[in-house]
Amino acid sequence: MMMEEKLVINELELGKELANRLMNNLKHTSSVDSNKTLISDILRIYQNAIFMLSFNQDKNILKRSLEIDGKDSKNVFKKRKVSEKNTEKVKVFVATEQENGSIDDGHCWRKYGQKEIHGSKNPRAYYRCTHRFTQDCLAVKQVQKSDTDPSLFEVKYLGNHTCNNITSPKTTTNFSVSLTNTNIFEGNRVHVTEQSEDMKPTKSEEVMISLEDLENKKNIFRTFSFSNHEIENGVWKSNLFLGNFVEDLSPATSGSAITSEVLSAPAAVENSETADSYFSSLDNIIDFGQDWLWS
């Protein structure tokens, strides 16, 4: 059995134990805080497990990187990259900015452009890794303020960091993920979708969390947090997910407060069936049936 599989089983067994403990807590009087902690831990464990399972597939994609066409290096403008269109990975998140106005995802970015986008109120900013030229790191991201909620930013990651200058976010960067009117989402379901660069959903890849009716901030919400992961020689070095992942999927309930926090950027889950069943299972695990405010 592979190392990762053992880790996943360990995680799931731990999750089961915590769920039992929670069940016990619910049967008897227990503090809300302790229940919250248990739920957080359980969800973290599931998230870890999913991430671990996805890793084997994901790391193959991580090996891909953009390549600059060296032949055109003397040209002022480089050819648009076409060949990677269908292979390059795109990660889409919605983030809230921090107090200093930045979105700290643990990487250093250099802004290199900004464009007005047809049909959008807000311009899109283009960032590339600060270490693009020193370390040939070809990671790129696009940030655009949400039209529907100015406090949110849609963050799209293209390419993967090959630099070794990853730092832990100094403060919590809030990444929530909004429901968009694209076909990525279906109702209240959470879909895990990989998108090719042309934004057509193809196969499952990204964790996309839906917040239905974002303007009203009601109906469902999910919160999840995780730290930068460290992977060395294919072995997990640290606990990936630290935080909370809260949801209220009961259609009968409404008025839930929404806050979403993620400590770092992208998590990737490769298999949609896995992810769907994962989220479906959460439906069974968590039945708040009442408004639930995270402190």
Partner DNA sequence: TAAATTTGACCCAG
Partner DNA sequence: CTGGGTCAAATTTA
* Residue ranges in contact with DNA by CB under 7 A: 76-82, 85, 108-119, 124-126, 128, 130, 140, 142, 198
* Cβ closest to DNA, residue 28 vs residue 118: 118
Please say which residue, 64 or 110, places its beta carbon nearer to DNA: 110
Measured from the Cβ of residue 214, the count of other Cβ atoms closer than 10 Å reads 21
Smallest gap from Cβ 82 to DNA, in A, equals 5
d(CA 73, CA 68): 8
Q: How far is the CB of 99 from DNA (least distance, A)?
A: 14
For the beta carbon of residue 261, count every other beta carbon within 10 angstroms: 20
Which amino acid, 24?
N
Taking the least distance from each CB to DNA, the nearer of 114 and 280 is: 114
Name the minimum Å distance from CB 230 to DNA.
23
Cβ 140 to DNA, closest distance in Å?
5
**Nearest residue (CB) to DNA, 52 versus 129:** 129
CB of 121 to DNA, least distance (A): 12
Residue (130 or 274) nearer to DNA, CB: 130
